[in-house]
């Protein structure tokens, strides 16, 4: 258990090739932004700029000025490289035809060789 004035938190960032997880102790009242800065995780990120990256605690998006609590996992989210819906369509092999559900619309009878159907 953490000391009374210290909190134990974890900062995580998932790169394409590996996950980075850093545990550290911070004073009570520390914000998410300060925890990320103290962790040094920015050195592990390709462009090193995490100031505009969305952040969260245990999968819930929070603002960078949110105070952390003992045991929190601060998560830094990467931008999506593809639209998830479009990627799913491509994996399903679909660009065009979609399954149509429901009753068929009546069609106009076609005349063939001058005779009614």
Say which CATH number the domain at 19 has.
3.10.20.30
Q: Answer whether residue 114 is part of any domain.
A: no
Contact predicate 30/68, CB 8 Å: yes
pLDDT beyond 60 at 94: no
**Whether pTM exceeds 0.75:** no
Tell whether 45 is covered by a domain.
yes
> Domain total for the chain?
1
Structural domain that includes position 23: 6-76
pLDDT band at 17 (very low <50, low <70, confident <90, very high): confident
In a domain, 117, yes or no: no
Query: What rounded mean pLDDT belongs to the chain?
Result: 81
Domain-embedded: residue 92: no
Please report, for residues 1, 68, 91, the alpha-carbon distance to residue 48 in angstroms, rounded to integers and kept in the order given: 32, 22, 32
Residue 1's pLDDT is what?
Answer: 46
As a whole number, mean pLDDT of residues 9-34 equals: 92
Residue 18 placed within a domain: yes
Q: What is the pLDDT of residue 2?
A: 45
Q: How far apart are CA 37 and CA 11, in angstroms?
A: 10
In contact, 26 and 68? CB cutoff 8 Å:
yes
Q: Residue 16 falls within a domain, yes or no?
A: yes
The average pLDDT across 55-74 equals: 96
- The predicted pLDDT at position 88 comes to 83
| Residue 15 confidence (pLDDT) | 79
The sheet that has 19-27: what strands, in order across it?
A: 19-27, 6-14, 73-76, 55-57, 60-62
Using 50, 70 and 90 to split pLDDT, how confident is the model at 114? low
The strand pairing partners of 8, in sequence order, are 25
Q: Is residue 41 part of a domain?
A: yes
Q: Does 89 fall in a domain?
A: no
């Amino acid at each position: 258990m953490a000391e009374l004035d210290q909190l134990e938190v974890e900062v995580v960032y998932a790169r394409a090739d590996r996950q980075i997880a850093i545990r550290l102790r911070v004073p009570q009242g520390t914000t998410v932004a300060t925890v990320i800065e103290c962790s040094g995780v920015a050195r592990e990120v390709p462009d090193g700029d995490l100031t505009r990256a969305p952040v969260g605690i245990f999968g819930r998006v929070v603002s960078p000025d949110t105070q952390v609590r003992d045991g929190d996992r601060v998560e830094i989210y990467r931008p999506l490289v593809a639209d998830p819906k479009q990627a799913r369509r491509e994996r399903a092999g679909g660009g065009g035809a979609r399954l149509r559900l429901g009753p068929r619309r009546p069609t106009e009878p076609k005349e063939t060789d001058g005779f009614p159907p």
